[in-house]
Amino acid sequence: MTERLTPDICVIGAGSGGLTVAAAAAAFGVSVVLIEKNRMGGDCLNYGCVPSKALIAAAKHVNAVAEAPVFGVNAGLPTIDFERVHDHIHEVIAAIEPNDSAARFRAMGVKVIEAEGRFMDRRRVVAGDYEISARRYVIAAGSSPLVPPIPGLDTVDYLTNETLFDLRAGPEHLVIIGGGPIGMEMAQAHRRLGAEVTVIEGGRALGKEDPELAAIVLDRMRTEGIAVQENVKVVEVAKSGSSQVTVTCERNEGGTFEVTGSTLLVATGRRPNVDGLGLENAGIRFDRSGIKVGPDLQTSNKRVMAIGDITGGLQFTHVAGYHAGIAIQKILFRLPAREDRTIIPRVTFTDPELAHVGLDEEAARRKHGDRISVLRWPYAENDRAHAERRTTGMIKVIADRKARILGASIVGAGAGEMINMWALAVYKGMNLGEMRSYVSPYPTMSEIGKRAAVAYYAPMARKRWVRSLVRFLRRFG
C-alpha cells in the first residue's frame, strides 16, 4: 500500500544541489524527503567533476615525467597502465561517495526514497511506495549528455561522460565530437595518456571563452599533438572495419574529409532531465532547454523551485550549490534572494587552465561601450612562473571608468585557484585600488593580478599635475 508523507520540503534529485538543500534543511530541524532514482551524488560525483579531474591528475603526472629533464631530473620514458588509471578514478569516487550516501543522509534525519519521483498534480508527488504532499518542492534533477541526431550515430558504439570512465584500456585513437570544456579536457588527458586524439567542433573550440585566452590553450593542445578541427559539421558516422568508426565532416567553407578512429566520444553539451517528472501535471512551465524559472528560481507553480542544471542555465556543480543556498534562504527564512550570474566563476581544467568570472571584454564593451579599461599581465613577467617553468599565460582584467572590477580571466598554471580572489572582488564590487593595495607574498604566481592592478595606475606617474605636486611637496624637506 502507498504510504503518505507530509514533509516540509521534498527534494527531487540527489546531486550537488539537492543534497545541499536536504542537508541544510535537516540541520535546521526541518522535515525533508529526498528522492533519487539513480546514484546518490549525481553527475558530479559519478560521471563528471570527480572522475574527470582524477583522470586529468593522472595525465599531469605523465606530463611531469616528460618535462622533468629540463629541471635536471631524468626518470626515463613513462609507461601507462591504463587499468590502474581506471582504478585510481574509481578509488577517488569511492573515497568521496560516503559523504553523499543515502546512509549518511538518513542519519541526518532525511527520508531518502530511492525511486523515480513524479508529480501527480500541483501539490503531490509519487515515488515508489510513497505519496508525498510537501509544503515546498525543490527540483534538482540535473542533466544528461546531449546526443545530437547525427546520421549513423545509432549504428556505432560511442562514449559519453557517463561511460568514458569505465574504460580499462586506453583508446588508440580517440575522436571527440565537441570542443567545449569537457571535450578539450578529455582530449588533452587522453593524449598525455598515450592516445592519438582528434577533436571536431562545429564552431570555435572553447567558443564561450575569451578568444585571446582560448587561443593560448588551443596552441598548447596542438603543440602536444592534438588535432583540433574547428568550424566543421559532422554529417555522418559509420563503422569502419570490425572495430573502428569513421566520422565524415564538412568544412564551413566547403569540402569534406574523414576521420577514422578506434573510439568515439560525444561531448556536445548536456540536456536538462525534464522527462518523466510529470511537470505538466504540476503546472510547471518547461521545454527541452529546461524548467522555466525567474531570477529567484521560482517556477510557474508557487510551491516549486528548480535549481541547478535542470533550469537550463549555467551547468556547474558550484552553481547548483549556489542555487541551493537561494532555495534555503527563500523557503526557510522567507528572505528575498535572486540569482546573479555575473558573480559565477568557471574553470576549464586543461593545461594551461582557463578561468573566468564576471564580464569578459566583449560583454563589457556591449554594456559600457569604450568606457572600460582592459589590463593584462603575463606569466612571463612573474618570478615564480620562471622558477616553475610555467611562463605561458596571462591575466586579463576588465574595469569600468571608476576602476571598479567588472571581470577577470586567467589562462595559465593554477588559474583555477587564482580566480577565487577575483570572484570575491567581482562579488564585492571591489576596485583596482583595493587589489593594488593588498600585500601579496613573494614569490607567488598570484602576483600577476596585483601587477595588472598596479598597471592601471602607472600612467598617473606621467601626468603633469602629479609631477608638479611631487615637486611642490619636495620643498618641505
Is 309 flagged in the annotation as binding?
A: yes
> For the packed helices 211-223 and 181-192, what is the interaxial angle rounded to 10 degrees?
20
362 labelled ligand-binding? no
Count Cα neighbours of 132 within 13 Å in the Cβ-side half-sphere: 28
Q: Taking Cα atoms as reference points, which of 326, 328, 331 lies closest to residue 311?
A: 326
- Whether residue 185 is annotated as binding a ligand: the answer is yes
Q: Are 156 and 239 in contact (CB under 8 A)?
A: yes
| Residue 227 bridge partners (DSSP) | 198
Q: How far apart are CA 254 and CA 236, in angstroms?
A: 16
The reply, when asked if residue 352 is annotated as ligand binding, is no
Cα separation, 328 vs 3, whole angstroms? 27
* Contact criterion met (CB below 8 Å) for 342 and 178: no
184 in a labelled binding site: yes
Q: H or E element: which one contains 106? A: helix 102-107
Task: Measure the CA dihedral 74/76/77/81, to 10°.
Answer: -110
* 307 touches 297 (CB < 8 A): yes
To the question of whether residue 310 is assigned a binding role by annotation, the answer is no
The verdict on whether omega for the bond into residue 352 sits within 30 degrees of 0, i.e. cis, is: yes
Residue 476 grid cell: 618641505
Asked whether residue 261 is marked as a ligand-binding residue, the answer is no
- Is 255 annotated to bind a ligand? Reply is no
Instruction: Specify which residues 228 forms β-bridges with.
Output: 199
Residue 278 annotated as binding?
Answer: no
User: How far is residue 431 from each of residues 27, 375, 399, 400, measured CA to CA in Å?
Assistant: 37, 13, 8, 9
Q: Is residue 269 part of an annotated ligand binding site?
A: yes
Distance, in Å, from the CA atom of 455 to the CA atom of 450, rounded to the nearest integer, reads: 9
**385 touches 419 (CB < 8 A):** no
In this structure, are residues 143 and 271 in contact, taking their beta carbons and an 8 Å threshold? Answer: yes
Q: What is the largest CA-CA distance in the chain?
A: 94
412 is annotated as contributing to ligand binding: no
Binding site for NAD(+): which residues?
Answer: 178-185, 201, 269
Binding site for FAD: which residues?
Answer: 53, 117, 309
Binding site: which residues?
Answer: 53, 117, 178-185, 201, 269, 309
